[in-house]
Chain A
C-alpha cells in the first residue's frame, strides 16, 4: 500500500499554492507598512524643517526667537559627548568581551554574568540616568559635565557593545586559534594577531550602532540635569553642555508653532549625523571583509 496517493496530492495542490501566494503578500504588506510609516515620518519632518535649515541654523546658539534659533551648541555638545563615549565604551566593552570569551573559565559564574549582560541591554535608559546621577554627578562630584554624561551614556551602551563583540569573537573559527597556539603563540599574541583582526568588522559595526543609540538618547541626559539653553561652547570635558536630542526635545515642547519647525530642522541634523555614523560602519565592514 502507498501512503502518498497521487490523487490527494493533486487535490491539495491548489490549496497549498494559494496559501503560498497569500503569505507572500502578507509579508510584502508588512514591509510596505513599515516603509510607509518611515516615508511619512521623513516627509513630515523634511517638509516642516527644511525651510529652517541654513548655515545660520548650524552656527547660531539657541534663542528665544525661532528665526534666530540655532543648533551650534547642541551639535558641538553631541560631538564632545561622542569623544568621551566612544573610547570609554569601546575599550571597556571590547575588553570585557575578550575577557569573557578568551580568559574566563567556562563555569556557572561566567554564564551568570553573560546572561545578565544581555539582560542589561534591555534596561530602560532612565534607569541608567539615575545610576549616572548617583555615581558620576553626585558621588564623584563631576556635576552635569560632559564627562559625567559621557560615562553615563557609556554604561548605557556597554552591554550592547559587549554582546556584539562577544559574538564577533565567538565567530572567529577555532581552527585559526589552534593554528596560532600550535606554533607556540601566547594567548595575548593570538588575540592581537588573529582573533581581533578577524573580529573587528563585527565589533565596529556593533559599536557604531550602539554609539548611534547614545547620540539619540534624551532620558539619561534629562535625569543627570544637562541644561538646554547654552550660549557658549564647552572648552573641556569638565564643562557643561547640551546635546542634539535635548535641544530638539526643548524646541518641540514649546507652545509657538514656529518652534515645531525649528525642532524638525534639528531632527534633520540629528538624522544626518546618524546616517553619517552608519555609513562609517558600512565602510569599515566592507574594508575589513575584503581581507577574506
Chain B
C-alpha cells in the first residue's frame, strides 16, 4: 500500500522537473538495528538543487534514513541493510565504494551544534586539511568562502582565532554549516539543525537553507511542520519506518492523499 502511494507521488512530483537530475535514488531500502526493523522498503528519489524535508513523529526513522545516506549509520555495529541507495547513479553500498569518498561529497549538519574544541578557523579548515590541503593561502580562501556561504563571516571575521565555543549556539550551528561547506559538498544532510536553537537563530538558518539550495541539494529532517512547509520543495512523511507519502510540499500540506499524513500535519498525533 505504501509503495503504491509513493510511486504515484514520485511520478507526480517529477512530471514538471524533467531538467533536474536525481542525486539520490533509494530503492527498497530496509534497515535493522539488531532485530529492530527501523526502515521498511523505502523508495525515495531526491532531486538536485532542491530542499527535501523529512517529517514524522519521534522514532519513525528520520535520523536513521538521513544517516544512511552518508553511511554514518554504520558506526552502530548492530546495523544491517538491504536494498540500494544510488548516489549520482552509483550504489553507495557497493563493496568498493569508500565511505570517506562518499562523505566528502555529502556533508552533514547535526542536531546539536558540535564544533570541535578548536578555533573557529581550525573548525572550518578541518575538512580541507583532512583532504590534504596545506597551503595557508588556499585554506584562508576556503575558510572565508565557507563562512560567507554560511552567512556568518561578518559576525566572526575578527575573531577567527577564538575558540568556537566562545560564540552563541546559533552561531556555532552556522560554523558547523560552514565547516560542512568547506569540503565543497554536493549534498548537505541536516538532522533537525534548528531544534537546539532560539527562534531568531532558527530563522537565520532557515534563510540560509533557502540561499544554499542554489548550489547544493539539501535534505533536512525536522519535526517542525511549519519549518518543513516554509523551506522545502518536497516533503516525505515517515511513519514507523515507512514512507507514507512523498510529494511536493504544497501538496502534502494542502491536499495530502493519505489519511495518516492529514492526521499528522493537522496535529492529531505525533
The stretch of A185-193, A250-258, A271-279 in contact with B is A185-193
A183–B103 CB distance below 8 A: yes
Q: Complex formed: what's the CA distance from A184 to B132 in Å?
A: 12
In contact, A181 and B103 (Cβ under 8 angstroms): yes
Known contacts A182-B70, A291-B163; A175/B100 CB under 8 A? no
Contact call B107/A181, Cβ cutoff below 8 A = no
Residues of chain A contacted by B117 (CB below 8 angstroms): 176, 197-198, 291-292
Residues of B within 8 A of A178 (CB): 72, 75, 108, 110, 114
B72 touches A183 (CB 8 A): no
Q: B84-110 vs A: 1/0 string, CB under 8 Å?
A: 000000000000000111111001101
Which of B43-51, B133-141, B175-183, B202-210 lies at the interface?
B175-183
**Is residue A106 contacting chain B, with contact meaning CB distance below 8 A?**
yes
Complex: how many Å from CA A105 to CA B75? 11
Judge if A194 is at the interface, Cβ distance under 8 Å: yes
User: Could you say which residues of chain B place their CB within 8 Å of the CB of A175?
Assistant: 110, 112, 114
Q: Could you say which of B123-131, B147-155, B257-265 contacts chain A?
A: B123-131
Q: Which residue of A lies closest to B182 (CB)?
A: A183
Decide if B18 is an interface residue (CB 8 Å cutoff).
Answer: no
User: Known interface pairs A175-B112, A176-B116. Does A183 touch B165 (Cβ–Cβ under 8 Å)?
Assistant: no
* B108 cross-chain contacts in A, Cβ below 8 A: 178, 182-183
Alpha-carbon distance between A186 and B127 when the two chains are bound, in angstroms: 11
Contact A179:B100 (CB < 8 A) given known A105-B77, A106-B77: no
Q: Name the distance in Å between A127's Cβ and chain B's nearest Cβ.
A: 36
Which of chain A's residues 154-205 have a Cβ closer than 8 Å to chain B? 173, 175-186, 189, 193-194, 197-198
CB-contact partner of B116 in A179, A184, A189, under 8 A: A179
Instruction: State whether A184 touches B101 (Cβ < 8 A).
Output: yes
> Is chain A's interface secondary structure helix, strand, loop, or mixed overall?
helix
Q: Is the CB of A185 within 8 A of B163?
A: no
Instruction: Kindly identify which residue among B100, B165, B176, B180 contacts A292, using a CB–CB cutoff of 8 Å.
Output: B165
B112 nearest in chain A by CB position: A175
* Smallest Cβ-Cβ distance to A186: which chain B residue: B100
A residues near B104, Cβ cutoff 8 Å: 183-184
- Report whether B183 and A183 are in contact in the complex, using a CB–CB cutoff of 8 Å: yes
CA distance A78 to B256 in the complex (A): 79
Q: How far is the CB of B123 from chain A (nearest CB, A)?
A: 9
A186 to B101, CA, bound (A): 10
Chain B residues within 8 Å of A183, by CB: 103-104, 107-108, 126-127, 130, 179-180, 183
Alpha-carbon distance between A242 and B40 when the two chains are bound, in angstroms: 69
Which chain A residues in 273-292 approach chain B with CB under 8 Å? 291-292
Residues from chain B with Cβ under 8 Å of A291 in the complex: 117-118, 163
| CB-CB nearest in chain B for A172 | B117
Within 8 A of B (CB), among A84-127: 105-106
CA distance A194 to B164 in the complex (A): 14
Residues of chain A within 8 A of B163, CB atoms compared = 291-292
Offer 22 A-B interface pairs, CB within 8 angstroms, sorted by A. A105-B77, A175-B110, A175-B112, A176-B116, A178-B72, A178-B108, A178-B110, A179-B116, A179-B176, A180-B116, A180-B130, A181-B72, A182-B70, A182-B110, A183-B104, A183-B180, A183-B183, A184-B183, A185-B100, A189-B130, A194-B116, A292-B165
Known: A175-B114, A185-B100. 14 other contacts (CB 8 A): A105-B77, A176-B117, A179-B110, A179-B116, A182-B72, A182-B107, A183-B126, A184-B102, A184-B130, A184-B131, A185-B126, A291-B117, A292-B117, A292-B163
